[in-house]
Amino acid sequence: MLCRHVQSYLDDYILSQIDKELADKIDNHLKECLDCQKRLEGNKQLFTVLKSLPTPDPGDYYWQQMEDSILAATVGENRQNSKLPEQAKTGPIGLMQRYLIPLTATFLLFLGSLYFANPVQNPILSGVSAIDSSSSYIMAEKSEEISDRSDSHIFTAIVASAPGSLGRYLIFADINGGTR
């Protein structure tokens, strides 16, 4: 083999990416040719340096953040733009998302408007006997009755007119833990 032929295959020879027959020919040539031996050593150095380059690793926290961002931008996009698969659009979950949730929200809004339109007739408000305007607490005579109606740690909205004031107050009462 000629030197220029050998040198054109040196990189593949180093990386073992040539067939055995050609590798044997190059071996034989290298035994006799000092120039190609020097070239081989020079080429090997580059691969050694390239292999020593570290693999970047920003850490587990970053990988998790990245994964979350990608999924938010792809899978999350489906949720926002309603680009759901056909099955999801026509199935029971799809129908619920399309009709039941908006209908329920509309119904609740309607009830809320009735409630705010007639605050005095509200049964919860009937349990409130007085409002201490100097503190943030609400005095309630029928507190037990109210507790029975509500689950623990659920805030109940009460609209009340404070004595001597013109405005109405929206009070959030924690049935178990007082008033906010």
* Residue 143 CB contacts under 8 Å (≥ 6 apart), including other chains: 127, 175
93 binds other proteins per the rule CB under 8 A: no
**Any contact of residue 71 with other proteins (CB under 8 A)?**
yes
Q: By CB under 8 A, is residue 56 in contact with other proteins?
A: yes
137 is an interface residue for other proteins by CB under 8 A? no
Q: Which range of residues in 51-59, 114-122, 140-148, 158-166 is near other proteins by CB under 8 A?
A: 51-59
Decide if residue 53 touches other proteins (CB under 8 A). Answer: yes
CB of 146 to other proteins, least distance (A): 45
One residue of 3, 70, 96, 105 binding other proteins per CB under 8 A: 70
CB neighbour list of residue 176: distance below 8 Å, 6 or more residues apart = 147, 152, 153
CB of 105 to other proteins, least distance (A): 26
Binding range to other proteins, per CB under 8 A, among 20-28, 55-63, 105-113, 166-174: 55-63
With b for 16 or more beta-carbon neighbours within 10 A and e for fewer, the 166-176 pattern comes to eeeeebebebe
Residue 162 vs residues 34, 120, 146: alpha-carbon distances, Å: 103, 12, 19
